[in-house]
Amino acid sequence: MSGERLEQLYTPKQMQQFAELRAGLPAEEIARIQDAWPPLLADVRAAREQGMEPTTPEAATLLARWDTLTAATMAGFAARPELAQAISANYQQGNFEGFEGAPQAADFAFIERARAALGEA
């Protein structure tokens, strides 16, 4: 997602806070997280398109990968929960729909079906 697009979704203060958080994280950690999302999203989308049942071991593996990567992604926001809330609000409002590199509503829905089918809260 381009910086210009992000500037439409977040206030200048929030953009500054994002930059400050990013500057405080090791570049390797940022790269590891950024590099992990595209293959995970591709796998989730392939599972959805193939009609994978959410009760399968494969769905459980996708859910575990999703949860692990989400936790790693959001760990950087522990000191700025208001930014995490702003990100969540943008997803809830559908502001990231249509952006290939961002999880889409259908991706979240698949993950939540897997979570429910596997009895996770």
Domain that holds residue 113: 3-117
pLDDT of residue 86: 96
Which amino acid, 26?
P
Quote the Cα angle for 70-3-109, to 5°.
Answer: 35
CA distance readout (Å), 71 to 55, 64, 84, 103: 22, 11, 12, 15
How far is the C-alpha of 97 from the C-alpha of 113, rounded, in Å?
A: 19
Provide the number of structural domains found in the chain: 1
Please state the pTM of the whole predicted model.
Answer: 0.89
Helical packing angle, 27-49 and 105-117, nearest 10°: 80
Query: pLDDT by residue for the chain (121 residues), tens digit each?
Result: 556 778 889 999 999 999 999 999 999 999 999 999 999 999 999 999 999 999 999 999 999 999 999 999 999 888 899 999 999 999 999 999 998 889 999 999 999 999 999 886 5
3-state DSSP assignment of residue 107: helix
